[in-house]
Amino acid sequence: MSAPNLFLVHVSDVERSTSFYADLFDIEPVMTTPRYVPFEVAPGVLFALWSGRADQVAPSTPRTSEVGLMVPGPPAAIDDIHAAWTAKGATVVEPPHDEVFGRTFVVADPDGNLIRVSPVD
């Protein structure tokens, strides 16, 4: 059996979300279509935005999953990313704090999807 290699995030406005994620992660999409935009995050692994169900995406809907960005380095590296992302206007859901796995924080995209930054396991 293969490992998962496509991670979809449902968004209401694919163009707005493409700009948000391209800027936040400093990456460019593999391609763009009116409702689907994939980013290759590792060889053969895609992180994609999908607006095919835009009518069902509402920022007020609780999100129970998160996109994760694990970063190497000391706790200060997490704080540096937090400072950079807040300077870009990211909505902070959880400010930097220490958890059992290390320093972490959470921001939300324009649709309320959660993005957690944490240290490499």
Residues in the chain: 121
User: 22 near 111, Cβ under 8 Å?
Assistant: no
- Give yes or no for residue 49 having a pLDDT over 80: yes
Please report the pLDDT score of residue 2 as a whole number.
84
* Whole-structure pTM value: 0.89
Structure tokens that stand for 98 in this block = 């220490």
Domains of the chain plus CATH, in order, are 1-54 (3.30.720.120), 63-121 (3.10.180.10)
Structure tokens that stand for 63 in this block = 């999100």
Other Cβ atoms within 10 Å of 2 Cβ, number:
5
Please report the pLDDT score of residue 70 as a whole number.
96
Among the residue ranges 1-5, 62-66, 83-87, 94-98, the one predicted with the least confidence is: 62-66
